[in-house]
């Protein structure tokens, strides 16, 4: 038997023992007294009725004997106690009342004559019952009203015995019910315990419990917790992977300019500068500066809270298109813009600028077919921004990793092609921070970035 079953059994058994003990005490001490009290009240009521019906006594006696379990003896009154006793005994016997011990005492007779009534109990030892008799003095008539009182001690003993039998039967039934009830409880609890152990060992499994009670609610809560812990762990692992990749990429991208700066400054110190060393040092320093600024922008976007306000996204896009016009002409690129006018969204101006500028800069840098398309339109009461540019037919872009910092599809890691590799990561972080949906897809030789404001 499980610990829970033992606790149930001991607790309920203790309650039953207390209840049975109280029942036995109450039965033994109070039932007999209460029963006699009730019979006395009943016989007093009958005697009151007879005293009020003294003029029609025979009819009243017949009615009382018919409706109540009483025997009423009516005899002529006399001051001779022996004669009166004989008359009363004969009257009771004639009506079928068995008497073993019966006698009207002198004092009872005197009290009846003086007070009009007197109550007496006669214990009929061999007959196993008692007789409660109330005597009435109705002028020339002497009346005895008798009620049989069973042996209360025997009845109480019988009741107590039955109570004990019921208690034993209840204990047996209770043990059976507790076994099945506790089994119904402990089986799910065992499963929940095993599940929590698995969770503590980072095995985020699930459990199915159908009990339609609090145990099922508990199992659902633990399942939700397990799922969220699993998602958190996977997110943490992914963050760690990204951090490791970020550190590796930062180290890789800083290693070359640092080495070049060191080499060229040493050359300048040794006097072998051909006039280009200083320009090289400056260019490498600018690359490191851009890299550090990108990292700071990414960190700031992820941590800082940006208050939202109405932003005229149409105007921002048009201004950016004009700003990039010279760069587009130098690179012989064409820009096709389809911008919905007067589009206003609730967002952070800084966040919107970071998203749009990085997406346009990315398209300008990586377009394969020298053509870029920009669209801003309304769909289902939401504004949608799309930017599309061509990709190489043999590209190896992994869309699931394209938002990672420093991810570049070019295996050669050509800096002219890859830049710092932080632009799309900044877009992703800014969109997440403001609750914008974003995605990327490649179709028919074109890659399209979509932001749903």
DSSP-assigned letters across all residues of 157-207: HHHHHHHHHHHHHHHHHHHHHHHHHHHHHHHHHHHHHHHHHHHHTT-----
Give the pLDDT of residue 159: 82
Pairing of strands 141-150, 129-138: antiparallel
CB atoms within 10 A of CB 68: 16
Give the C-alpha separation, 387 to 339, whole Å: 11
> Which pLDDT score, from 0 to 100, does residue 414 have?
46
Q: What is the C-alpha separation between 72 and 62, in angstroms, rounded?
A: 9
How many residues comprise the chain? 453
pLDDT of residue 415: 44
280-306 b/e (C-beta count within 10 Å ≥ 16 → b): bbeebeebeeebeebbebbeebeeeeb
pLDDT in tens, 139-195: 789 999 999 988 877 778 888 888 888 888 888 887 888 778 777 777 888 888 888
Q: Which DSSP category does 136 fall into?
A: E
Measured distance CA(157)–CA(28) in Å, rounded: 8
Other C-beta atoms closer than 10 Å to the C-beta of 183 total 12
Domain coordinates in residue numbering, the chain: 3-155, 205-245, 306-452
* DSSP label of 440: E
DSSP conformational letter for 317:
H
- Give pLDDT tens digits along the chain (453 positions): 667 777 777 888 888 888 888 888 888 888 888 888 999 999 999 999 999 888 888 899 999 999 988 999 999 999 899 999 999 999 999 998 888 888 899 999 999 999 999 999 998 877 788 899 999 998 789 999 999 988 877 778 888 888 888 888 888 887 888 778 777 777 888 888 888 888 888 888 888 888 788 888 888 898 898 889 888 888 888 777 767 766 766 776 677 788 888 888 888 888 888 778 888 888 888 878 877 777 777 777 777 777 889 999 999 999 988 888 888 888 899 999 899 999 999 988 888 888 998 899 889 888 888 899 999 999 988 999 999 999 888 888 888 888 877 766 544 444 444 444 778 888 888 888 888 999 999 998 899 999 998
Contact 390, 378 (CB under 8 A): no
* pLDDT for residue 208: 85
Report the pLDDT value the prediction gives residue 202, as an integer from 0 to 100: 83
pLDDT for 413 equals: 43
Domain 306-452 belongs in CATH node 3.30.565.10: yes
Cβ neighbours for 27, distance < 8 A, ≥ 6 positions apart: 156, 159, 160, 163
Residue 142 CB burial class (10 angstroms; 0-12, 13-18, ≥19): buried
- pTM across the whole model: 0.46
């Amino acid at each position: 038997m499980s610990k829970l079953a033992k606790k149930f059994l001991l607790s309920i058994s203790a309650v039953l023992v207390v209840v049975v003990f109280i029942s036995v005490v109450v039965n033994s001490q109070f039932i007999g007294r209460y029963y006699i009290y009730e019979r006395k009240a009943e016989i007093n009521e009958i005697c009151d009725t007879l005293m009020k019906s003294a003029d029609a006594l025979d009819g009243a006696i017949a009615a009382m004997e018919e409706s109540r379990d009483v025997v009423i003896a009516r005899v002529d009154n006399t001051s001779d106690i022996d004669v009166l006793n004989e008359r009363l005994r004969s009257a009771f016997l004639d009506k079928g009342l068995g008497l073993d011990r019966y006698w009207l005492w002198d004092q009872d007779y005197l009290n009846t004559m003086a007070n009009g009534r007197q109550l007496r109990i006669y214990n009929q030892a061999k007959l196993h019952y008692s007789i409660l008799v109330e005597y009435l003095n109705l002028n020339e008539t002497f009346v005895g009203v008798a009620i049989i009182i069973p042996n209360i001690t025997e009845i109480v003993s019988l009741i107590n015995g039955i109570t004990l039998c019921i208690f034993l039967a209840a204990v047996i039934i209770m043990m059976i019910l507790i076994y099945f009830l506790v089994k119904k409880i402990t089986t799910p609890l065992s499963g929940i315990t095993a599940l929590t152990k698995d969770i503590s060992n980072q095995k985020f499994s699930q459990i199915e419990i159908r009990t339609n009670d609090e145990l099922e609610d508990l199992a659902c809560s633990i399942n939700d917790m397990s799922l969220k812990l699993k998602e958190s762990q996977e997110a943490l692992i992914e963050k760690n992977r990204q951090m490791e990749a970020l550190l590796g990429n930062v180290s890789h991208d800083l290693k070359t300019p640092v080495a070049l700066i060191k080499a060229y400054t040493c050359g300048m110190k040794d006097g072998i500068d051909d006039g280009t060393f200083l320009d090289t040092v400056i260019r490498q320093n600018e690359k490191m500066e851009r890299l550090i600024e990108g990292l700071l922008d990414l960190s700031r976007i992820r941590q800082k809270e940006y208050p939202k306000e109405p932003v005229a996204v149409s105007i921002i896009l048009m201004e950016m298109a004009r700003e990039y016009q010279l760069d587009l002409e130098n690179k012989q690129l064409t820009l096709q813009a389809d911008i919905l006018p007067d589009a206003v969204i609730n967002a952070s101006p800084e966040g919107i600028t970071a998203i749009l500028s990085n997406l346009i800069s990315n398209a300008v840098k990586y377009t394969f077919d020298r053509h870029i398309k920009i669209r801003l339109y309304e769909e289902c009461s939401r504004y949608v921004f799309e930017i599309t540019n061509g990709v190489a037919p043999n590209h190896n872009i992994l869309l699931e990793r394209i938002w990672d910092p420093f991810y570049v599809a070019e295996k050669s890691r050509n800096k002219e092609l890859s830049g710092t590799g932080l632009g799309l990561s900044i877009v992703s972080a800014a969109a997440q921070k403001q609750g914008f949906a974003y995605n990327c897809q490649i179709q028919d030789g074109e890659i399209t970035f979509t932001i749903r404001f």
